[in-house]
């Protein structure tokens, strides 16, 4: 088991292909810039919607010198994005300028997709994955918004790439992986417990290397990588965690929203979401809907950490009193996340892109559905077929972790988006090498069986809300 030879080979591979000398990569970059800039130029959007307004309000308070405070609804989100908006307003003179920063993030994300694809399977897969990322309609859309999806996608890809890079060199490289995962935590509370997946990836055997001895060799060779990663992550997140815990009423890591999310997903009313045709889309209806459930814990009279703990306690009591209802809602929450329509569908149907021809609207909506089904459905089959080594641990572990949190709490399509680039890599492997991929699938009984079991379930969950993207569905 020549782990040292494998490491040397991987170091050579990082140096050989950087993407910057590949015309296919630059072609994708040019197309990506055009597709991301055009909507912002044709439909400049100075308004905000729902969570965008929450982030904007919190950023204004930061600029006023109050630091990170709760939203008007009493939510205390992770600090990363409100501070990014505040920085944009301070440095560029406008919070809308964050979209320029997000454009750069999206382009760098393409480079990271290229590098991950090359590391996992070679240049051809890297090219296909980069183009798929460039042409992804919802990824394009979120660049021009004030939601966290573009920044979280960038940070998640950075965390993956930096761990793969760290494995192939000195353990000090793992500091970068710790910083990236730390940023993930500070931008989205759902990332708080990703760390064990990265530690496992640090010590996991290389692709194609199996057996107990390989696992032991990986642990001996890279235990320092895992340790340095954890130390870097803790040291990066700890200053904010200590400050926020003192200010907001008790121990917290990055946010205090878990209780309020559990309130929305585990209550007498059905789990709600905010996608088109599948959620409470106006403030009046939303408030009326909430009144059919239990009364929320106080968000004004007590600190946000205590309010969140109160909601968690009540949600757990509700689950204890309604175990059957809780279990029966798991498919619904998953279907809400896997809904092939996205926030871009909602944006188009609400008429924000005014002047768009009818035929183009329908074409874009259909393209959104096609992209979602392709990545979620066939991408999962490709992941089952091709997942190997440290990238397999990172990609599959991250997707399963997020799916678990959705299943027990609250589902929405925008939570799926940052995970899709991880599946795009495996889908690109299929398009780059279709015959080899199908041979690998059919030659393994358990991979073929798992694919045959999961694919119909995924298609059924996606079908659940598929037609909600079409107004005619309601007539």
pLDDT given for residue 475 in this prediction: 40
pLDDT given for residue 5 in this prediction: 36
SS3 at position 399: helix
pLDDT in tens, 107-120: 999 999 999 999 99
Buried b (16+ CB within 10 A) or exposed e, 1-31: eebeebbeebeeeeeebebeebebbeebbee
pLDDT given for residue 13 in this prediction: 62
pLDDT given for residue 207 in this prediction: 67
pLDDT in tens, 281-319: 666 677 788 888 888 888 778 899 999 999 999 999 999
pLDDT given for residue 350 in this prediction: 85
pLDDT given for residue 281 in this prediction: 62
CB contact at 8 A, 105 and 157: no
Distance of CA 438 to the CA centre of its chain: 28
SS3 at position 382: helix
Sign of torsion, CA 89 90 93 98? negative
Q: Which residues of the chain have pLDDT under 70?
A: 1-19, 46, 207-210, 278-284, 472-475
Within 13 Å, how many C-alpha atoms sit on residue 179's CB side? 8
Report the 3 state secondary structure along 10-53: HHHHHHHCCCCCCHHHHHHHHHHHHHHHHHHHHCCCCCCCCHHH
The structural domains of the chain, with segments of one domain joined by +, span 3-264+332-474
The rounded distance, in Å, linking the Cα atoms of 105 and 187 is 14
Q: Encoding tokens for residue 285?
A: 């209806």
CB contact at 8 A, 35 and 135: yes
The rounded distance, in Å, linking the Cα atoms of 407 and 385 is 24
- The DSSP line for 169-191 is S-GGGHHHHHHHHHHHHHH-GGG
């Amino acid at each position: 088991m020549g782990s040292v030879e494998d490491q040397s080979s991987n170091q050579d591979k990082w140096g050989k292909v950087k993407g910057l000398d590949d015309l296919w990569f630059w072609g994708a970059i040019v197309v990506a810039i055009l597709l991301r800039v055009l909507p912002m130029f044709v439909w400049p959007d100075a308004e905000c919607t729902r969570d965008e307004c929450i982030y904007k309000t919190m950023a204004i308070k930061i600029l006023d010198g109050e630091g990170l405070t709760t939203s008007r609804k009493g939510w205390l989100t992770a600090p990363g994005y409100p501070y990014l908006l505040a920085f944009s307003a301070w440095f560029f003179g406008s919070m809308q300028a964050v979209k320029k920063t997000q454009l750069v993030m999206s382009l760098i994300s393409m480079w990271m997709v290229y590098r991950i694809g090359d590391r996992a399977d070679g240049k051809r897969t890297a090219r296909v994955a980069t183009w798929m990322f460039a042409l992804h309609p919802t990824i394009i859309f979120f660049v021009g918004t004030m939601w966290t999806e573009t920044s979280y996608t960038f940070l998640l890809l950075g965390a993956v790439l930096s761990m793969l890079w760290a494995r192939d060199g000195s353990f000090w490289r793992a500091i970068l992986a710790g910083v990236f995962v730390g940023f993930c935590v500070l931008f989205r509370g759902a990332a708080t417990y990703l760390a064990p997946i990265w530690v496992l990836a640090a010590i996991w055997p290389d692709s194609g290397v199996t057996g107990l001895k390989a696992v032991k060799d990986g642990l001996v060779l890279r235990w320092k990588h895992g340790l340095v990663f954890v130390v870097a992550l803790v040291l990066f997140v700890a200053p904010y965690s200590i400050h926020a815990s003192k200010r907001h009423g008790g121990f917290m890591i990055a946010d205090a929203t878990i209780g309020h999310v559990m309130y929305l997903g585990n209550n007498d009313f059905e789990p709600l979401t905010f996608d088109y045709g599948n959620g409470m889309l106006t403030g009046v209806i939303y408030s009326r809907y909430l009144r059919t459930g239990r009364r929320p814990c106080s968000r004004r009279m007590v600190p946000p950490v205590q309010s969140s703990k109160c909601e968690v306690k009540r949600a757990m009591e509700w689950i204890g009193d309604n175990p059957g209802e809780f279990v029966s809602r798991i498919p619904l929450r998953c279907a809400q996340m896997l809904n092939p329509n996205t926030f871009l569908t909602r944006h188009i149907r609400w008429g924000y892109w005014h002047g768009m021809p009818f035929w183009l609207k329908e074409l874009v909506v259909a393209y959104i559905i096609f992209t979602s089904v392709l990545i979620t459905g066939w991408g999962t089959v490709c992941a089952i077929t091709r997942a190997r080594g440290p990238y397999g641990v990172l990609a599959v572990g991250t997707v399963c972790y997020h799916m678990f949190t959705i299943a027990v709490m609250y589902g929405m399509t925008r939570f799926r988006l940052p995970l899709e680039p991880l599946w795009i890599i495996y889908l690109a492997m299929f398009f780059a090498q279709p015959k080899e991929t199908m041979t690998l699938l059919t030659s393994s009984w358990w991979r073929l069986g798992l694919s045959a079991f999961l694919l119909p379930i995924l298609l059924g969950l996606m079908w659940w809300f598929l037609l909600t993207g079409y107004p005619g569905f309601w007539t």
